[in-house]
């Protein structure tokens, strides 16, 4: 079953094209790692998928439905429709973006409570279950300021999961973490992958991409420059740019 299909996606910031025509189909259960140098459009691609940024050209199909309607040769998006899409797409941010005025449990309950309109009992049960899934059942009452970076990111993951998303987007989820805390977050994401969740993951952790992703995309200059299985892209890249990128990341590894 196809979760997401992008066709000819273009995004410009002013005159500067960031995405120059992305075609991508995501099947259910796929785990796609997106690699690329900074400025290659990785984050913008994720943000166009849940319409935090509106694409300038191209189409997004979500769950078989084309998003937006075409008028005067331009695609128009109604805020109400985009809100509906975002409910089904979970996003995890580089800087966590937890709500500092709510406890860990409050953060995780917030979506079910406010967006899905669940009652408090139901939302709390769900919230506690998701916190337990990311190994933070005992931190339910802690405020974000009292959590480590790794714990914050795991709460953020639980917050996204509480919405039962059909698709999870991870935007460099470990880039803001101390090296010692990266492992716990990657472990959590890996467990989700093993559960069969559909996910797109922008990352610089090539080893993680190699072991967990089912497909790897390499973005350069706003285009998918190369894609394939992790072994194909990471071990035997065909494109010079991909080879250079991977070499630069391996430079200091043992």
Partner 1 sequence: MYRWDFAPVAAHLDLLAIGLFNTLRLTGAALAFGVALGLGLALMRLSRRPWAAWPAGLVIEVFRTTPPLVQLFWFYFAAPLVVGVEMTPYLAALVTFSIQSAAFFAEVFRAGIESIERGQWDAARALGMNRGQALRRIVLPQAVKRMIPAFMERAIELMKTTTLVATISYADLLFAANEVSQKTFRPLETYTAVALAYFTVIYGASLLARRIELRLARSGEGTVG
Interface positions, 117-156, toward partner 1 (CB under 8 A): 143-146, 152, 156
**Which position among 13, 64, 99, 239 is part of the footprint of partner 1 (CB under 8 A)?**
99
Report CA torsion sign: 233, 245, 47, 180.
Answer: positive
Site for partner 1 in 28-67 (CB under 8 A): 50, 52
Beta strands 215-220; 89-92: pairing state: unpaired
Question: Looking at 79, 119, 121, 252, which residue binds partner 1 (CB under 8 A)?
Answer: 79
Alpha helices in 16-100 (DSSP H): 42-49, 79-88
Identify whether the C-beta of residue 25 lies closer than 8 Å to the C-beta of residue 4.
yes
Report how far residue 41's alpha carbon sits from residue 117's, in angstroms, rounded to the nearest whole number. 35
Q: Report 181-240 residues binding partner 1 (CB under 8 A).
A: none
Stretch that binds partner 1, among 19-27, 59-67, 86-94, 223-231 (CB under 8 A): 86-94
Closest approach of Cβ 252 to partner 1, in Å? 30
How many whole angstroms separate alpha carbon 76 and alpha carbon 67? 9
Q: How many residues bind partner 1 (CB under 8 A)?
A: 34
Torsion of CA 48, 33, 202, 137, to 10 degrees: 110
Q: Which residues bind partner 1 (CB under 8 A)?
A: 50, 52, 79-80, 83-84, 86-91, 93, 95-101, 107, 110-111, 114-115, 143-146, 152, 156, 159-160, 163
């Amino acid at each position: 079953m196809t979760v997401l299909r992008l066709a000819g996606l273009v995004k410009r910031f002013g005159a500067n094209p960031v995405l120059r025509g992305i075609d991508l189909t995501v099947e259910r259960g796929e785990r796609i790692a997106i690699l690329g140098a900074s400025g290659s459009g990785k984050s913008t691609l994720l943000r166009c998928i849940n319409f935090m940024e509106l694409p300038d050209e191209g189409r997004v199909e979500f769950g078989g439905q084309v998003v937006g309607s075409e008028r005067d040769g331009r695609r128009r998006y109604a805020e109400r429709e985009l809100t509906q899409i975002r409910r089904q797409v979970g996003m995890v941010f580089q800087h966590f973006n937890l709500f500092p005025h709510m406890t860990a449990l409050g953060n995780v309950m917030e979506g079910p409570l406010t967006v899905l309109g669940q009652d408090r009992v139901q939302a709390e049960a769900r919230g506690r279950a998701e916190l337990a899934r990311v190994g933070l059942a005992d931190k339910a009452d802690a405020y974000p300021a009292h959590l480590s970076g790794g714990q914050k990111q795991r709460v953020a993951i639980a917050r996204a999961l509480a919405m039962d998303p059909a698709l999870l987007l991870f935007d460099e989820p470990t880039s803001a973490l101390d090296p010692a805390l990266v492992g716990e977050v990657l472990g959590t994401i890996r467990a989700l992958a093993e559960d069969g969740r559909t996910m797109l993951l922008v990352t610089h952790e090539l080893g993680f991409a190699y072991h967990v992703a089912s497909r790897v995309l390499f973005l350069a200059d706003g285009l998918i420059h190369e894609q394939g299985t992790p072994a194909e892209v990471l071990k035997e890249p065909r494109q010079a740019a991909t080879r250079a990128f991977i070499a630069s990341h391996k430079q200091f590894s043992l």
